[in-house]
Structure 1
């Protein structure tokens, strides 16, 4: 019986392992709605699902396999096996083992997400323009920050996380979803007081009634206005070839349908900002 159990475990590992072949692309996703929607009635209808479908259809010479994991696991897979991910932030550390495409879209930067009822506790760190200083909040308050394992947020948030890995004021979430569990933790007033996330993530969770409409998004003063997203593949000859094809397919353009799918879950006051950033990064080209 023991031997049978070992065989079953071995077979399950073989079946779920990424296929290593020149004509196969293993696509890795986090459960990151509304970017990548990996379950439920709207499975496959996120804006990054849309981009991946476009790339897959433009690369019929490859077999396309999908895998779901948190970003920590995704990064490990890309460092060890041939694979790609359509929603990645570029960092110097990641560039050591990931080949990045040219930018594919700008995201409105991550901010602080917390309960509206807790706003008074955050007001000492918010300026007259409505921006919060994440540096002052982390250094001088008792409040605890929730983040997702392996995820990069950009700017000062990443610096704080990298420089305070043993801090009890940073709570790391290990599940595949990136914000839902953290928000529910805040809502239940358990171990964290605020999370870091994108405004469209929060809007999605509320619109789907996965969390109550009790949250507020506060932009961070020390963050850039927007963060660029890239397609990333394993950094080797295979990955360089795939990224070259991806760049050719995208051709420096930000497709209107792709953009609108992202903007669908942006707070209305942020859509104009996103249009501004998009037009500066991806100017309209005459045919």
Structure 2
């Protein structure tokens, strides 16, 4: 009798597990300030943090759990377990195992970041309009590029990374922060000469005194003006259902408070360009 009771309890437990899991969302995010701020006095105030909180509040039927990791780890988790990441770049490879929402945010493209004192080494690859050729810089110089494990940068940068995985001129960092450790490496003149990153990332790190104001951002000629960001969930029935709900919440908008939070850390001369790009990309204007 006791044995029968044990199997009945075990059976009920097992059949209830999928239903329980269906009502859970594991939210994965990188330490990516000022987009996602995971420590310090401003923890949770990045525009991605704010959007994530809004979505969690709008989905009260789910239990929400937060996890911080680098993008390599996040991608691995989305492959093997049910989970979501509030903002990601969409790529053909990721679409194989990630269900993406409609566009949710817009970032000006990544560029080259290096020390102002080292600018003379980069000038041969910079045109009259101030854009640098990443193709010529990588292939025709001996300088080493620093990137973060699992992160996608878009355009020609991703093409170079994918085609030169074992090159000594490509240095991969595995820390959870996406840019700070790379810039500190450059500052200390250790294993890399330049990093790839967004202009708002650089401004944030300087404003927080995480790195010295000795760096310069150089836009890349072979990159698009901007990158769209999407919410991504595991590619299965569960993920499709979450994304469908998120699309109804977003309603094609890039909301004003998230846009302003992003622009707060843009160099002043790039705010107008960001507004122009938003007008191009979003049919429904921010509110």
The question of a shared fold, defined as TM-score above 0.5 by the shorter chain, is answered with: yes
Aligned residue for 2:222, secondary structure, equals: coil
| Structure 1 residue 45 displacement after superposition | 0.4
* Superposed CA offset, 1:195-236 (max 9, x none): 000000000000000000000000000000000000000000
How many matched pairs?
A: 269
Q: Which residue of structure 1 lines up, in the alignment, with residue 187 of structure 2?
A: 187
The answer (yes or no) to whether the contact 2:253–2:286 under 8 Å persists in 1 is: no
* Superposed CA offset, 1:156-180 (max 9, x none): 0000000000000000000000000
| Structure 1 residue 106 displacement after superposition | 1.2
Map 1:1-287 onto structure 2 (within 5 A): 21-284=21-284
Unpaired segments ≥5 residues, structure 1 = 1-19
* Superposed CA offset, 1:61-108 (max 9, x none): 101000011000000000000000012000000000000000011100
Looking at structure 2, the residues matched to 194 and 123 of structure 1 have their Cα atoms a distance apart, in angstroms, of: 13
The answer (yes or no) to whether the contact 2:87–2:104 under 8 Å persists in 1 is: no
Aligned residue for 1:221, secondary structure, equals: coil
Aligned residue for 1:104, secondary structure, equals: strand
Output the TM-score relative to the length of structure 1. Answer: 0.92
Structure ID, larger Rg? 2
Looking at structure 1, the residues matched to 195 and 176 of structure 2 have their Cα atoms a distance apart, in angstroms, of: 16
Looking at structure 1, the residues matched to 286 and 169 of structure 2 have their Cα atoms a distance apart, in angstroms, of: 51
| Structure 1 residue 281 displacement after superposition | 1.7
Unpaired segments ≥5 residues, structure 2 = 1-19
Aligned residue for 1:86, secondary structure, equals: strand
Q: Go from structure 1 to structure 2 and tell me whether the alpha carbon gap of 1:67 and 1:272 turns closer, same or farther (over 3 Å shift).
A: same
Q: Go from structure 1 to structure 2 and tell me whether the alpha carbon gap of 1:73 and 1:284 turns closer, same or farther (over 3 Å shift).
A: closer
Aligned residue for 1:103, secondary structure, equals: strand
Looking at structure 1, the residues matched to 28 and 97 of structure 2 have their Cα atoms a distance apart, in angstroms, of: 15
| Structure 1 residue 284 displacement after superposition | 4.5
Q: Which residue of structure 2 lines up, in the alignment, with residue 8 of structure 1?
A: none
Aligned residue for 2:22, secondary structure, equals: coil
Which 4+ runs in 1 deviate beyond 6 A? none
Q: Go from structure 1 to structure 2 and tell me whether the alpha carbon gap of 1:286 and 1:37 turns closer, same or farther (over 3 Å shift).
A: closer
Aligned residue for 2:119, secondary structure, equals: helix
Looking at structure 2, the residues matched to 285 and 233 of structure 1 have their Cα atoms a distance apart, in angstroms, of: 25
Output the TM-score relative to the length of structure 2. Answer: 0.92
Aligned residue for 1:100, secondary structure, equals: strand
Looking at structure 1, the residues matched to 115 and 285 of structure 2 have their Cα atoms a distance apart, in angstroms, of: 43
